Amino acid sequence: MEILVVGGAGYIGSFVSRMLLAEGYRPTVLDNLSLGHRAALDPRIPLVTGDLADGGLLQRLFSDRRFDAVMHFAALASVAESVQAPLTYYRNNVANTLNLLAAMKNAGVARFIFSSSAAIFGTPERIPIDETHPARPINPYGRSKLMVEEILRDAAAAGDLQSVALRYFNAAGASPDGRMGEDHRCETHLIPLVLKAVLGGAKSGARLKVFGTDYPTPDGTCVRDYIHVSDLARAHLLAADYLSAGGASAAFNLGNGKGFSVMEVIRTAEKVTGRAVAFETADRRAGDPAVLVAAADRISRELGWQPAYPTLEAIIETAWKWHASHPDGYAASQTGPQD
Ligand SMILES: NC(=O)c1ccc[n+]([C@@H]2O[C@H](COP(=O)([O-])OP(=O)(O)OC[C@H]3O[C@@H](n4cnc5c(N)ncnc54)[C@H](O)[C@@H]3O)[C@@H](O)[C@H]2O)c1
């Protein structure tokens, strides 16, 4: 199966591209490298460096190759930044996705797998969050993801495409060999921040901030559902097979189904690394729900997805291997990870 992986040089897309290659699919990556890393890509995977805003490039790409499906990871993904720069977010996450869908339609490519987010649900009414939970996003990032889901529903109803939207909860972890991992230029995710505090804390005095200790949770800190990036990647391959077998358009929640508090993440990281995490507490941040945990029963039932890394400890162990061996991320790597 020929698959175009848009945003495939980013954190999740690079894991998916690599899994596709390893399992006999033929991935091609399109990425503008604004946030991704050439070194995250296996050198055997063709990389087209370009932007989704470039309609001419998309047209050429779809006329040069016959893709069976498109996986779309490219987006801006910081909630706080989306509040500051909503137009930038809607342009990249919604308008550029429309460019991609239009190019697919012109080329007769109809299968689409979309990186959606738990952010579409806003402040949850009940936990765990299943697919029947109302979608009421509370920031431009979450709204941009919900808008695309709605566009996909309309396009499916019009017979233009078949799609799977995967609503990820918190992606985390690295490859078990420590050669691929999370390297966001402006890191906002808890596990890398905790491990960076372990690595840098002693020399720089950098301290992790724990936002909010008075939430209605067992230890007062926010609870989140962490899913290993390889488990996310597996869901994309299952979704591609599901669509190619004629599966109907669908949206699935994707998490481990277990919640861990910020303090549990810190304590588990201390256990895994054998070092103390320097942290300080701060006020709650606006727009952080107390608890976000997925019900992933539907994707398990319908696509046969099961997590290979169900425990927080296993996820943090892989992340630690990556961060300890790559304190500057991919910056020092010239070529991609090889087998
Ligand atoms: N990381 C998470 O925990 C998480 C959770 C929920 C949803 N998501 C979604 O998953 C997707 C991937 O997340 P990630 O953490 O891998 O992000 P990432 O920033 O590491 O990867 C995104 C990639 O897209 C590329 N890109 C962005 N805009 C582009 C454009 N206009 N043209 C071409 N390339 C472009 C970037 O260079 C980057 O390589 C995003 O859509 C994000 O919203 C991520």
User: pLDDT tens, 32-67?
Assistant: 999 999 999 999 999 999 999 999 999 999 999 999
How far, in Å, is the centroid of ligand 1 from the Cα of 74?
Answer: 4
State in Å: Cα 50 to ligand 1 middle. Answer: 14
Distance between CA atoms of 144 and 91, rounded to whole angstroms? 9
Q: What is the mean pLDDT of the chain?
A: 95
pLDDT tens-digit map of 123-173? 999 999 999 999 999 999 999 999 999 999 999 999 999 999 999 999 999
Question: Which residues partner with 261 through β-bridges?
Answer: 223
Does residue 276 belong to any structural domain of this protein? no
**Is the pLDDT at 338 greater than 60, yes or no?**
no
Residue at 85 is within a domain: yes
User: Contact, 93 vs 145, CB < 8 A?
Assistant: yes
Let me know if residue 219 belongs to a domain: no
d(CA 339, CA 336): 10
Q: Which residues contact 157 (CB under 8 A, 6 or more apart)?
A: none
Check residue 206 and give its pLDDT. Answer: 62
Please give the pLDDT value at position 104.
98
pLDDT tens for each residue of 245-263: 999 999 999 999 999 999 9
Does 199 reside within a domain? Answer: no
How much distance in Å is there from the Cα of 13 to the middle of ligand 1? 8
Q: How far apart are CA 211 and CA 193, in angstroms?
A: 13
d(CA 68, CA 108): 9
220: in domain? no
Nearest-angstrom CA–CA distance, 35 and 112: 22
- The CA 168 to ligand 1 mean position distance, Å, reads 12
Residue 187: pLDDT band by 50, 70, 90 thresholds?
Answer: confident
pLDDT range class, residue 287, cuts 50, 70, 90:
confident
Q: Among 141, 168, 215, 242, which one carries the catalytic annotation?
A: 141
125 belongs to a structural domain: yes
For atom 15 of ligand 1, the residue with the nearest CA is 11
The DSSP code sequence of 140-157 is HHHHHHHHHHHHHHHHHH
Residue 272 resides in a domain: no
Tens digit of each residue's pLDDT (9 = 90 or more) over 217-230: 999 999 999 999 99
| Known catalytic membership, residue 141 | yes
The gap between the terminal CA atoms of the chain, to the nearest Å, is: 22
Here the tokens at position 169 are 């909860």
Residue nearest to atom 26 of ligand 1 (CA): 74
Q: How high is the pLDDT of residue 185?
A: 83
Domain count of the chain? 1
Spatial neighbors of 203 by CB under 8 A, at least 6 apart, are: none
CB contact at 8 A, 170 and 254: no
Closest residue to atom 42 of ligand 1, CA basis:
77
State the pairing for strand pair 223-224/291-292. Answer: parallel
Band (207; pLDDT cuts 50, 70, 90) = confident
CB 33 near ligand 1, within 6 Å: yes
The answer to whether the bond into 128 is cis (omega within 30° of 0) is yes
Give φ, ψ of 48 to 5 degrees: -100, 115
pLDDT at 249: 98
| DSSP one-letter code for 134 | -
Domain enclosing residue 238, as ranges: 2-173+226-255
Domain containing residue 126: CATH number: 3.40.50.720
